[in-house]
Amino acid sequence: MHSPPLLSFLLVLALTIRNAIADPSAAHQKLIALATAGGGIIDLDMDTLELLLSPDRHWSSAIHTTDNGKLLECSKCNEFIPSWTSVANAWTKVPEEHRNAHFFATLDLSGGHNPLLSRDTTAVTPVVFAMPPTQGPRASAEAYDLLNLRYKFDNGFGAEPLAEFISKYTPIPIPYPEPFNWARWITIGVGILSVVVGALRWIAAVVSRCMISGFGLTGVQMAG
């Protein structure tokens, strides 16, 4: 169930989409420049949000709302930011023709001056929306269905499920590699080493007993 603050945010976002009047070609070139300058992530304000959500856009985007300050006291925001950043960084590695057809953007709600911000918006952070194109071969009837375009965080705040979700709307899948789980393999390695050491100790004990028994038997035979 969506809380009233979230529904309010969705309504404002929907109105922004429908009212955006930026020229698509000029908007696209500016978005490319902003993404490049931001290392793959566009820092959104109301002006850049209108560019990103041009009603005649032939590009897709993923929009992340967060709180980088303490105004909203969003406890999960900092937990999610590394996953968001790593997925966005993975997208910078795709060929330019695909990279420039999908943008990652972050809207920080902690500034206080943003029209999308109200004092009861804690429920809307962090949030990720995947926004399909409205024009071209990737255009989708979902373009204004914001409730279905919202990432649900059903699988937690990890990067891999996020990349999988956003890849439904990108020109090609996001080449996100699952990070090498050093802790897991170190644990497995320590476990294997413990088993090997234990086995070697057992073998050494058996050999030692056999040798002692053999020496004892040889001593008895010699004494006889």
Residue 180 has pLDDT above 60, yes or no: no
Per-residue pLDDT of 54-74, as tens digits, reads 888 999 999 998 877 665 567
Residue 151 has pLDDT above 90, yes or no: yes
Question: For residue 153, what pLDDT is reported?
Answer: 92
Question: For residue 91, what pLDDT is reported?
Answer: 96
Comparing 2-11, 48-57, 97-106, 165-174, the range with the smallest average pLDDT is 2-11
Look at strands 60-66 and 127-131 and give their pairing.
antiparallel
Question: For residue 177, what pLDDT is reported?
Answer: 78
Maximum alpha-carbon separation in the chain? 111
Residue 215 has pLDDT above 90, yes or no: no
Angle at 150 between CA 116 and CA 25, to 5 degrees: 70
- CA–CA separation, 173 vs 17, rounded Å? 25
Question: For residue 217, what pLDDT is reported?
Answer: 47
* Section 78-87 average pLDDT: 92
> 75 or 155, which is more confident?
155
Please, how many CA atoms are within 13 Å of residue 166, restricted to the half-sphere of its CB?
Answer: 28
What the block records as the tokens of 74 is 């969003």
* Section 120-136 average pLDDT: 76
Per-residue pLDDT of 198-210, as tens digits, reads 777 778 776 677 6
- CA–CA separation, 51 vs 16, rounded Å? 10
Question: For residue 115, what pLDDT is reported?
Answer: 45
Residue 78 has pLDDT above 60, yes or no: yes
Residue 195 has pLDDT above 70, yes or no: yes
What the block records as the tokens of 121 is 């918006």
Q: pLDDT band at 87, cuts 50/70/90? A: very high
